[in-house]
Structure 1
Amino acid sequence: MSVPKTAISRGTGWLLRQQHKDGSFGSGRVFDRSVAVTSLCGLSMLSGGHLPGGGPEGEAVENALQYVLSQRRAGGLISNPKYVAQGPMYDHGFAIVFLTQIYGEAKDNQLIREAISDGVRLIIDAQTDQGGWRYQPNRKEADISVTTCQLTALRAARDVGIAVPKDTIEKGVGYVLSCRNEDGGFRYQPERDDPSQFARSAAACATLFSAGTDRQDEFKAALNFISQYRPLSDQPTDPPYYYYGHYYAAQSMWWAGKKQWTKWYPAIRSDLIDRQRESGQWLSQTVCPEYSTAMALIVLQMPNDLLPLFER
């Protein structure tokens, strides 16, 4: 299935122009130099086959890598304390994913592996008794969004040979399932009486599959729930957290198989092309444009099948 090369080129070109001199990405009061946004931008370029050192994109990936590695803290946390939105665990989770996807392709492999290993230990130690995680690296509370982020990081780390206790994964999946509603979607926290919502349900769906569990019934029910949000030209409004939701929904449909993917990808491809600004960026109402542009590019380039994270 073909990818929209012109849209991807324009989006990547716009991102290159936004990179800060220190290698970071992100803008605005809240998301300036965000480790999470920087990691997503790096992933978007890896999705296009751009490896460290090869051309402008490869140089940008290398600089993003160096920035992420420079933000390692005592105890294994990867986050910039000056620029943290909603606590550091989003930074940390996306950083671990980025490092696992670049591992083996960069000159700093030993340092990268140490950062992943230390980061995994921090995630394991921060898991609550309920099985989840939240904004801070402590064991006090949890929510489904941060939990799915950490489970994705653990899966990616396991794929590059980092030991992850089976019990940690099972407890994390158990927390996700404790947020499940009868319609197959998911609420924010198990103790809340929230209706199901597209973005967090897409994240849960992708996590149930990628965690390697045998929860096929729950995965299929979640897949059915998020399928109703396939982009259509006559949709009256966007679902909340559009780019975050479609980042995970695309993964879910990709893993679900050819039948689901061939319905989903043309729709999201067309919708994203329509949303792209003349400058090449995609705009988010909730986060910075570097974030939404990176997520759009990752989705559009999934047929390239270049990120180990998305291997079927």
Structure 2
Amino acid sequence: MASLVAIERAMRSRAAAQDLQGIYLPDAVDRAVQRGVDSLLRFQNEDGSITDRRHATAMTSLAIMALASVGVVSGEDSPRGRAMERAIEYVLHPRNQTDGYFGRRDGSRMYGHGIATLMLTEVLGMGSSIAQNGRIHDALDPAIKLILKSQTVNKPKSLQGGWRYTPDARDSDLSVSVWQVMALRSAKNDGLDVPSDAIDRAVAYLVNSYTTPLDDRGIPEEPVGGFAYTPGTRRPSFSMTAAGLLAMQTCGRYESPLVSGAAKWLLEHPPKTQDRFFFYGMYYYAQGMHQVGGEAAETANRLTTELLLRLQSRAGHWLNAEGEEHNIGIVYATTLAVLSLSVRYHYLPIYQR
């Protein structure tokens, strides 16, 4: 059964969605988001999956989050509600989870596992029925345990507390780790069992990934700094700095000097469409800077809107025309674009500070 905490959180999210319906007048962002969601549904397959290339479990999970981010509820009497219910059932099919692990069958590895786990924690209590909520809870228990167990694999000191491509990996990177961190934080918000020391270990790894040296008190020697893909690298990037910013916030370190330093770095190095993993970085950037507030939130909102609306196709979807993301496909780029633009709605609990 879904926890009472998850059910109460779901009720608050639904109430917020209803309250917002009379507040916003449709604007360019609203129209872009709705067209993006409609384009995603055109990629739903007969088995309920939403994908145009590979990694079906991970891509379907991202698509479900995109639907939820605009207020769609599983099982509601609408094409979107029914599509979301079918998509959740696809992810929950036993064949897609091996000993708790979502990343094996579809080849998405720990990336996909973190994404699927995060999605299920975000929709727990919002399933189409008591039975679906029960299946979500049952799938989450081993999924979270796998994340926790994977974090404790013996690794070099600077890599401890993070995650890599496989559950038994003996190294770590920030790109994989941030999905696990968000999944754990969302699970903890649901009232599920997530030990505090798991969050503390994740924070230690994030600190090691910061590119500006820290003094004996753990304070950065410079007020501006970013995050790198792996510890020991002193060259921050847009996507990793945005990921590190959000990961620190997700761990509850909103007032950390690393958060303010990363926000300042992102103000000095605004996103560009030619950035590596542009859509991936924009998702973290939009959410993380929104939570910083003030100038950071205002700047990120403006740039996210300008860049993503310019890149949307006439058919309503997004696709990176070049680089690594081009090969991942339309569903990937479109879900991340919708999630970036929909931060303003606050429907997903993970968006809430």
Q: TM-score, normalised by structure 1?
A: 0.91
Structure whose CA Rg is larger:
2
Aligned ranges for residues 80-159 of structure 1 at < 5 Å? 81=105, 83-85=106-108, 88-106=109-127, 107=129, 108-127=132-151, 128-129=153-154, 130-159=160-189
Are the aligned partners of 1:25 and 1:33 in contact in 2 as well (CA < 8 Å)?
A: no
1:256 maps to amino acid: V
What's the counterpart of residue 20 of structure 1?
A: 45
What's the counterpart of residue 348 of structure 2?
A: 307
Query: Would you say 1:219 and 2:241 are equivalent positions?
Result: no
What's the counterpart of residue 167 of structure 1?
A: 197
SS at match of 1:18: coil
SS at match of 1:239: coil
Take 1:78 and 1:270, find their aligned partners in 2: how far apart are those partners?
Answer: 35
Deviation at 1:223, TM superposition (A): 1.1
Aligned residues: 301
1:290 maps to amino acid: V
Take 1:272 and 1:239, find their aligned partners in 2: how far apart are those partners?
Answer: 13
What's the counterpart of residue 49 of structure 1?
A: 71
What's the counterpart of residue 295 of structure 1?
A: 336
Take 2:306 and 2:337, find their aligned partners in 1: how far apart are those partners?
Answer: 12
Query: Would you say 1:8 and 2:29 are equivalent positions?
Result: no
Q: TM-score, normalised by structure 2?
A: 0.81
Take 1:258 and 1:60, find their aligned partners in 2: how far apart are those partners?
Answer: 37
Deviation at 1:24, TM superposition (A): 1.4
Deviation at 1:80, TM superposition (A): 5.1
Are the aligned partners of 2:279 and 2:333 in contact in 1 as well (CA < 8 Å)?
A: yes
What's the counterpart of residue 254 of structure 1?
A: 290
2:340 maps to amino acid: V
Are the aligned partners of 2:285 and 2:300 in contact in 1 as well (CA < 8 Å)?
A: no
1:278 maps to amino acid: R
Deviation at 1:147, TM superposition (A): 1.0
Query: Would you say 1:34 and 2:56 are equivalent positions?
Result: yes
1:40 maps to amino acid: L
Take 2:63 and 2:254, find their aligned partners in 1: how far apart are those partners?
Answer: 32
Q: Percent identity?
A: 31
Query: Would you say 1:210 and 2:250 are equivalent positions?
Result: yes
1:205 maps to amino acid: L
SS at match of 1:4: helix
What's the counterpart of residue 275 of structure 2?
A: 239
Within the candidate set 294, 299, 306, 1:263 is matched to 299
| CA gap 1:181/1:251 in 2 versus in 1, 3 angstroms | same
Deviation at 1:228, TM superposition (A): 2.9
Instruction: Give CA-to-partner distance per residue, 1:156-199, whole Å, 9 cap, x none.
Output: 111101111111111111111111112511222124x3511110
Deviation at 1:238, TM superposition (A): 2.0
What stretches of structure 1 move > 3 A for 4+ residues in a row? none
Deviation at 1:254, TM superposition (A): 1.3
Query: Would you say 1:190 and 2:231 are equivalent positions?
Result: yes
Report the RMSD for the aligned CA atoms in angstroms.
1.8
Take 1:73 and 1:52, find their aligned partners in 2: how far apart are those partners?
Answer: 21
Instruction: Give CA-to-partner distance per residue, 1:112-168, whole Å, 9 cap, x none.
Output: 112112111100000134111111011422111111111111001111011111111
1:299 maps to amino acid: S
Take 1:200 and 1:264, find their aligned partners in 2: how far apart are those partners?
Answer: 16
Instruction: Give CA-to-partner distance per residue, 1:198-248, whole Å, 9 cap, x none.
Output: 1011111001011113661011101111223435xxx6x621111110100
